[in-house]
Structure 1
Amino acid sequence: MERTALSILRDIDGVTTEATSGDGRKADIVIHAGDVSHVVELKAQRSINAANARALIEQAQRLPKATHLLLVARSTTKEARRLLADAGVALIDGQGNMRVDLPGIFVWTERRPPHAASEKTSESPVKLTGKAGIATQALLGDPERWWQVNDLAAVAKISASLAHRVLSRLDRENLIETVGAGPKRARRVTHPAALLDLWAEEMRDRRVKPLRVFRLARDARAHATSLSTLLAGANIDHAVTGPAGAARLAPFITSIPVVDIWITQAVDLSAASNAIGAEVVQEGHNILLRQEADDYPLVFRTLIDDVWTVNKFRLYLDLRKDPRRGREQADRLREEVIGF
């Protein structure tokens, strides 16, 4: 893979490479372009996901000031590429993605993998989605705790077998530490930020049903309180998410054009709409009612200021998907509320 990366770099007009820096320092390669040159340390890895990216970024930050890290991998995930690009870490992968952003040198290409399965690797037998995603949220919710398999199974309400597989996956990703053996073996999260990145990358909802409705509201910030009270009064399990959910946790949320609510699949969305006195509309909605096939968005919901709200990790995930300043708001929530 290293030879392939060097070949790609040398094919770029005006770019040359050599094995040493010329001043006695050891380096994998030195990249020259015009009158600029950069010492680059090459690191090859079979695949890179969001968790791997977080660890590699930390490694890059420990390099000498004049040395840059260039990663070479057969496959990378979209979120891993985003994290690496934001951190300024150079990357070349076998899927045709390349980003080398150094002073005086900028090369960028991006390719879509030919098949969705191309981002799957033998190193990731358990994706952190579905019930495994619930177990991950339990771990994130108490990262200082030492977990035994049965503890995690009980909190996440999953089988002990699945809990063990999740912990084994995280052990392979170097995200947890282990003490003891046999029945007394316990694990603890060591890199919660990387675990959150990996979960947010892999978590997927199944068969989401949306319904757009309108209900007159004079005070947008108080609207969620009224809606949650009405739904609770009708015995409809639910959880507010998006900006309306974040507003009670983070003061930076100033605009709530739509109240986004997850509704249990146990009731029809039209019944939920009737319970809040809303009208179904095709456009101009100020409420979005949604259902997910397994009610996973409602797991670990909390009552905040009389509003049933999704847990903070689910809130982070939903904000990331929101086209209205979602990524920006998610990052602020992560910094100010989640803390890692």
Structure 2
Amino acid sequence: MLKPTESVNELENRAADAVRALLKNVPVIRIEKLEPTPPSYKFDLLATLSLDGHERLLVCEVKSVGQPRHVRAALLELQRAAGGFDPPAIPVFIAPYLSPEAQALCREFDVGFVDLVGNARIAFDTVFIERQVDVKPAVVQRSLKSIFKPKSAQVLRVLLRDPARAWKVADLAQVSDVSLGHVSNVRGELVDREWAEVTDDGLRLSQPDGLLDAWREAYEAPHGERAEFYTTLHGQSLEAALRDVLQAGPDAARAILASFSAAHWLAPYGRVPAQYFYADAGGLAALRTALKLSTVRSGANVVVTVPKDYGLFQDAVESAPGIFCTSPVQTYLDLAVAGERGAEAADHLRQELLAWRT
């Protein structure tokens, strides 16, 4: 992505500098020439190299966007341009930042890549250069997190219920309870990252696992007030009380099982001593009464979060009569950030309930 004040020429200059810096440390390579190409060319930079006395050419395409959808289209053009030389030139794709998915595409097309944060891979003849850095530009991190914010998450949870289903924008907006404009923005992000595709029937997820992986990496637990209590109820008496009080509908006081407690009903893995809930204000009051909750300084065995975002209640599931839980996707995300034991439970739940075939 270009900086607001960065021109195309400035980006190409930075790209050329990155290529020079990468190649200058290879003893067998001498850079004879590296310069921009005329507008009539199908690529942006041409590098002439001397490798042990033999001339080799790099043809480089420079793009301001490194999203997989844009990368894929550029790689095809770059391959054709490289094949126009005799012998064929070495194609190299350059962008300010290339995600692991974009890098994988370059490998799939056998095209070298360089990004301006330090990731690179160029292989030809006896030369093999590969560098990986654990850095994401701030603008990329903001863009990635934006797709997982509460309103966008409502759309994603609907899509992940049945990844093979195709959705018209209007239908998806209605079911997820967000605006048409917001659904369109989410659709654009998903398609650009190649997590979804637009078919004649509508939008459908093409890479649900890739989407869920990215969501897990960027996930932040819902913001809200967290309260801890103690209940003397356990076993059948606790279960009976839960069936009486749990509700997910918007016309009732909402209280649903969450995290380890939801996982116990969805995909049992191991018991934990505490019960976890999401609730609105009315649901919290109902829980306090039904479970006979008391406040304690230590030894709490009930944790209730009153989230600012009520969208997760829309995706609740009734895992057994009267037992309402966060959806498998929401439960998976909450478990994934709940420490080592939570990560193990998350992996188990994903294998049991989120192993999709698309």
TM range (shorter): 0.5 to 0.7
The match for 1:273 among 288, 291, 302 is 288
Asked whether the 8 Å contact 1:214–1:287 carries over to 2, the reply is yes
**1:269 Cα deviation after fit:** 3.6
The match for 2:255 among 225, 235, 238 is 238
Q: Which of 1 and 2 has greater Rg?
A: 2
* Aligned ranges 1:249-328 → 2 under 5 Å: 249-251=266-268, 253-264=269-280, 266-267=281-282, 269=284, 272-306=287-321, 307-328=323-344
**1:310 Cα deviation after fit:** 0.5
Superposed CA offset, 1:10-34 (max 9, x none): 88xxx97869999xxx9x9xxxxxx
Query: Secondary structure, in 3 states, of the residue corresponding to 1:120?
Result: helix
Query: Secondary structure, in 3 states, of the residue corresponding to 1:247?
Result: helix
How far apart are the structure 1 equivalents of 2:95 and 2:240? 52
Asked whether the 8 Å contact 2:278–2:306 carries over to 1, the reply is yes
Superposed CA offset, 1:104-134 (max 9, x none): xx99986797xx666235xx69523211111
Q: Which residue is equivalent to 2:172?
A: 152
Equivalent position amino acid for 1:339 in 2? A
How far apart are the structure 1 equivalents of 2:237 and 2:354? 25
Q: Which residue is equivalent to 1:332?
A: 348
Asked whether the 8 Å contact 2:196–2:204 carries over to 1, the reply is yes
Equivalent position amino acid for 2:256 in 1? A
Asked whether the 8 Å contact 1:43–1:70 carries over to 2, the reply is yes
Superposed CA offset, 1:4-54 (max 9, x none): 48857988xxx97869999xxx9x9xxxxxxxxxxxx98654335xxx535
Query: Secondary structure, in 3 states, of the residue corresponding to 1:316?
Result: helix
How far apart are the structure 2 equivalents of 1:140 and 1:210? 27
**1:316 Cα deviation after fit:** 0.8
How far apart are the structure 1 equivalents of 2:132 and 2:183? 40
**1:57 Cα deviation after fit:** 5.0
Equivalent position amino acid for 1:190 in 2? S
TM-score normalised to the size of structure 1?
A: 0.65
* Aligned ranges 1:158-197 → 2 under 5 Å: 158-180=178-200, 186-197=202-213
Matched, 1:225 2:239: yes
The alpha-carbon distance between structure 1 residues 139 and 218, as it changes in their structure 2 partners (threshold 3 A), is closer
Asked whether the 8 Å contact 2:284–2:304 carries over to 1, the reply is yes
How many matched pairs? Answer: 278
How far apart are the structure 2 equivalents of 1:133 and 1:162? 11
Superposed CA offset, 1:224-256 (max 9, x none): 7345224238x53122121221122224x1222
How far apart are the structure 1 equivalents of 2:354 and 2:176? 20
How far apart are the structure 2 equivalents of 1:146 and 1:71? 34
How far apart are the structure 2 equivalents of 1:276 and 1:241? 16
How far apart are the structure 2 equivalents of 1:167 and 1:326? 31
Asked whether the 8 Å contact 1:10–1:17 carries over to 2, the reply is no
Superposed CA offset, 1:237-287 (max 9, x none): 122121221122224x122222111002x4274553233201112321111
Asked whether the 8 Å contact 2:253–2:283 carries over to 1, the reply is no
**1:139 Cα deviation after fit:** 0.9
The alpha-carbon distance between structure 1 residues 172 and 334, as it changes in their structure 2 partners (threshold 3 A), is same
How far apart are the structure 2 equivalents of 1:285 and 1:16? 64
* Aligned ranges 1:96-115 → 2 under 5 Å: none
- Structure 1: 5+ residue stretches without partners: 29-40, 76-90, 94-105
How far apart are the structure 2 equivalents of 1:176 and 1:276? 43
* Aligned ranges 1:66-145 → 2 under 5 Å: 72-74=114-116, 92=119, 119-121=141-143, 127-145=147-165
Q: Which residue is equivalent to 1:53?
A: 100
Asked whether the 8 Å contact 2:232–2:292 carries over to 1, the reply is no
Superposed CA offset, 1:278-332 (max 9, x none): 1112321111101111212212111112311111110111101212522222122
